[in-house]
Structure 1
């Protein structure tokens, strides 16, 4: 069960959606302890300096490396004594391209990042999540259930991620596992799509993302990230195994409301 000082691991924590989730965890619970994981020590250290002293630890490395995943768990338990939640946020979009000619080596790397490293960290953290009756929150995508031209690798990995979350939900009575569609976020991934998608995506799809940016309708990462942070701290057991849009009716109480 959750402690007075819940302990949450967030992967891909150095920037964008991951960093927003970290900040929102602190906005929800001032006593939270967080361990962030990413490849940039500089960005992680900057984030640490902006958070309460002693309440944010980080591990620098690529979770594709099994030793980094082990270090994350060991660091978290040594520093804070428990694990109450894990937000599996780290992921990559490349390689983009159609199934007919996408480079297989690139697809394998994408799956290493988006799926196999997630499965490994899930395996390492489950004993601790069972003990705390904790929560595993998987950041998925609308691409998990929709075929987007040029996104075959990403689509497949997110569909598989949803099934991982569903299985954890079915198999682990003491753990709550939820996968979340975060919406079209105003992050570096969208900037990458705008910059690189013109040569790799159909024109209408690339134009859609350009339009979303130009009209200012991309979702601020902290708004959607607030919901994920709430789930990491408070997701009820009845949601376990589900794939939910961040604006789903069942998540209404977890939405970020404007301050007066």
Structure 2
């Protein structure tokens, strides 16, 4: 089935970093109409909307950890463009970093809502529309889903759960023509002068020492110093391409962005 000439995509976490790069690629390379969902309305996001106009970019300011904000994003998208072709769920945070024994229990429910339940909060109201369009769902996972990095316990748990959701949704929605992938984007350079929880690599370099194992800190610090971090556009191009026309035969997989089977979507 050929992708639509101007696909309608909902993208979370587009205010900066990897998500912002994916947004630009969807607009410039795929002629997409995109709804973004994020808490913050950054100057960069506003600039993209100004460049492409309201007919191409719909900004929904909200919290992905709240069911009602996700439902509102779907409702506004379908109300504006009369359809929905794909989702890219990129929003999330690694904070708090710390050993599980030290993380306050008050952090658990908000964290799981933002990093895992948000997937279902957006997918569930989207499915009736994605079934009509034989749409695609892209979940931004992490290599941490298959490792046991010290102080990353909540993050690893959420990403592992995301991989499992991808497998289950793929099975349940196969007959409806809906495809889904959990994608490992690699170590992405989303650095900024003021590291925040949204710039993961910068956040880890600032907050990891004393929390993470020394050997793990060396790995991430070395990748930064050697210039080995990925440009956001590299995995971003794969995420955007999958959301528009990802291969149905790979639906349900937890897959590396650099997998040879995704070569066609790379820059």
Tell me which interval the TM-score lies in, with the shorter structure as reference length.
over 0.9
The 1:96/1:42 distance shift into structure 2, 3 A limit, reads closer
1:10–1:87 contact (8 Å) kept in structure 2:
yes
Match in the other structure for 1:33:
33
Secondary structure of 2:100's counterpart equals coil
Secondary structure of 1:172's counterpart equals helix
CA distance in 1, matches of 2:71, 2:142: 26
CA distance in 1, matches of 2:50, 2:189: 24
Is 1:199 aligned with 2:225?
A: no
CA apart distance, 1:213? 1.1
- The size of the alignment, in residue pairs, is 255
1:1-260 equivalences in 2 (<5 Å): 2-30=3-31, 32-43=32-43, 44-51=45-52, 54-173=55-174, 174-187=177-190, 188-256=199-267
1:141–1:182 contact (8 Å) kept in structure 2:
yes
CA distance in 2, matches of 1:68, 1:199: 36
CA apart distance, 1:71? 1.2
- After superposition, the CA RMSD in angstroms is 1.3
Moved more, 48-57 or 205-214: 48-57
The 1:42/1:252 distance shift into structure 2, 3 A limit, reads closer
CA distance in 1, matches of 2:202, 2:86: 29
CA apart distance, 1:52? 5.1
CA distance in 1, matches of 2:145, 2:180: 17
Alignment TM-score, normalising by the size of structure 1: 0.94
1:14–1:47 contact (8 Å) kept in structure 2:
no
The 1:61/1:53 distance shift into structure 2, 3 A limit, reads closer
CA distance in 2, matches of 1:26, 1:8: 10
Secondary structure of 1:183's counterpart equals coil
Post-superposition Cα deviations, 1:35-92, rounded to whole Å, max 9, x if no partner, equal 1111112443223123355211110011112221111011101111111000010011
2:71–2:121 contact (8 Å) kept in structure 1:
no
Post-superposition Cα deviations, 1:164-200, rounded to whole Å, max 9, x if no partner, equal 1111100002100111000001111111111111132
Secondary structure of 1:250's counterpart equals helix
CA distance in 1, matches of 2:113, 2:54: 34
